[in-house]
Amino acid sequence: MPSDFYEEEEFQGQLNGNVFKRIGGLMRPHWRWVTGFLIAVILVSILDAYFTYLSKQIIDEGILAGDTAALQRILIQYGTMIIIQAVAVFAFVYLVGVLGEKVRYDMRQMLFNHLQKLSLSYYSRTPVGWIMSRVTNDTERVADLVTWGLLDSTWGVINIITAMGFMFAINWQLALIVLAVLPILLYVAYEFRKRILDQFRKVRKVNSKITASYNENISGVRVIKALGREDENLNEFKVLSSDMRRFGYRAAWLSALFLPSVQIISAFALGGIIWYSGAHVGTALLTVGSIQAFVSYMTSILWPIQDLARVFAEMQRSLASAERIFSLVDTPPEIKDKPGAIDPGTIQGDIHFEHLSFWYEDEMPVIKDLNLTIRRGETIALVGSTGGGKTTIVNLLCRFYEPKRGRILIGNHDYTDLSLQSIQSRIGVVLQTPHLFSGTIRDNIAYGRLNATPEEIERAARLAGAHRFISNLEKGYDEEVGEGGVLLSVGQKQLISLARAVLSDPEIFIMDEATSSVDTLTEAAIQKGMDAIMRGRTSIIIAHRLSTIKRASRILVIEDGQIAEMGTHAELLKLKGKYYNLYTRQFRFEREDAYDVFKDAAAAQPLEG
């Protein structure tokens, strides 16, 4: 994947709107929990501030005045409020924890649902590691922002507000000294936040590359070892890791500098309070209890500000993650239903490609002004050199992509007027490299129709020629296939994939090089299954093997995105054109291979007499 993908992705992340507003949108459906949390936090903050005020009363009205009854009354009030505060603390911690889980669940659902809607072209150009990083690491970071980030920041802000309120009630002159320092502290916090966020954006961008590198190196480990690419890959990864370390160091340095800066500014405010208090202590305006309360309030203000420095540093990671999540959510699917798209109930009928042209992002035409009619129930084969456009034709028919020019008609309908579900649910595709999901063989076959009975699953396996090898396994249909079907051979995976297509009972059947990686015996089993599923269905076969192609009622030679030749096997051989050349240069090797197999088998037989 080209590196500029990440540059573009980073740029898009910075263009997103108010991230905080969008995070707030995640909490909007759970406003009752948010309201309960805010009430509990406000109650705890007010009680914290009032405890300091009670301490002033204990000193002024109880200890210095020698009033035992007043001291006893204040202590009873103090103890009662401690119990109330304990309940409130439990409430807001519980509420914010539940809120975090709800938001985490919503984000997972939102991302997974959106990924289901995105077009195949998105996955073709986007690294799997990048997507996995969004739905795992970034989701967790945003959930932490909503929970503990929300708790700490909200608690800190409300503490500052309540403390300032009590300070003005005690002595407004001292309160103004503290109030004058607050804008400076906020400005410093803003500047540090901006710079730390910039570094964490860079960290997250490099982290996406590292995650993609991990994914590609693990999934492609066989190719890497076969080509001896370990040292080169290690050097490439070292560059990425060094970049991430450098940006991380800068972010850590700024985060470490943030807290001392806040402490130094706060020290000036505290010095002003001490100076003013020394000049006015003992007067009616400023008692000993008032000085003690003011110092406590000043500490209770500085502690949230200092703690917010830590919270801000941590929040930057979460904000960078939130930007990336929203950039994924904002990615529109390139292929989607038109307003009013219909489900015709069936897509059986003739298929027409009319003046079809298509190109990928580089705008180099892959299909050029293609005109083709596939009659209902007909089986056609697409042959030609690699890169000629055979698979692209199939992808267009499945509506994984849409024509840049021209149109495709299914029956009498332009297929863009039909819903995606109505088309794709009625097309069965068996690929050259079939994908199996973790689970059992039964689960993978039933993936074609989740409500299928065991009898229907076995019948599909028999039709596909897969029942024999499945029944020889220790657990039969309950045998685990491993991740991606790693516990099975390529041929076995092809047979299961074919059984899955049979079970889904498609109206259009597509085989895309499904027999190119299997041996002759497995191919025979697949051919038998193909005959069963293609009977009475419109079928398209992409293949190189002669035995597969000869079954087609028409063969199309695709070259440079156009139909170079078309006809039956016999007709095309008589032309002695491109198909004839393919046959004589390529298909003859099948006969030679078959002869070698026969010769080896004969040599292995014991001699008689």
Question: What's the length of the chain?
Answer: 609
- All residue ranges of the chain with pLDDT < 50 are 1-17, 592, 594-609
pLDDT in the model for residue 357: 92
Phi, psi values for residue 285, rounded to 5°: -80, -20
Contact between 136 and 207 under an 8 Å Cβ cutoff? The reply is no
pLDDT in the model for residue 518: 60
Establish if 289 belongs to a structural domain. Answer: yes
pLDDT in the model for residue 150: 72
Same domain, 124 and 224: yes
> Residue 489: CB partners within 8 Å, gap ≥ 6?
none
**CA-CA distance, 22 to 24, in Å (whole number)?**
5
pLDDT in the model for residue 261: 77
Same domain, 300 and 363: no
For residue 419, give its domain range.
Answer: 346-426+544-604
Establish if 251 belongs to a structural domain. Answer: yes
Same domain, 53 and 178: yes
∠ CA 435-436-437 to the nearest 5 degrees? Answer: 125
Same domain, 413 and 297: no
Q: Where are the alpha helices (DSSP H) in 465-604?
A: 467-471, 490-504, 520-534, 546-549, 569-575, 578-582, 588-604
Strands laid side by side in the 351-359 sheet: 365-374, 351-359, 405-410, 413-414
* 374 strand-pairing partners: 351
User: What does pTM read for this prediction?
Assistant: 0.65
Same domain, 247 and 303: yes
Establish if 119 belongs to a structural domain. Answer: yes
Contact between 463 and 496 under an 8 Å Cβ cutoff? The reply is no
- The two beta strands, 554-559 and 562-567, are antiparallel
pLDDT in the model for residue 66: 66
| 3-class SS letters over 42-74 | HHHHHHHHHHHHHHHHHHHHHHCCCCHHHHHHH
CATH value at residue 27: 1.20.1560.10
**CA-CA distance, 251 to 195, in Å (whole number)?**
8
Same domain, 16 and 163: yes
Number of domains in the chain: 2
Same domain, 237 and 192: yes
Same domain, 78 and 187: yes
**CA-CA distance, 539 to 510, in Å (whole number)?**
6
Residue at which a domain ends, from 278, 301, 329? 329
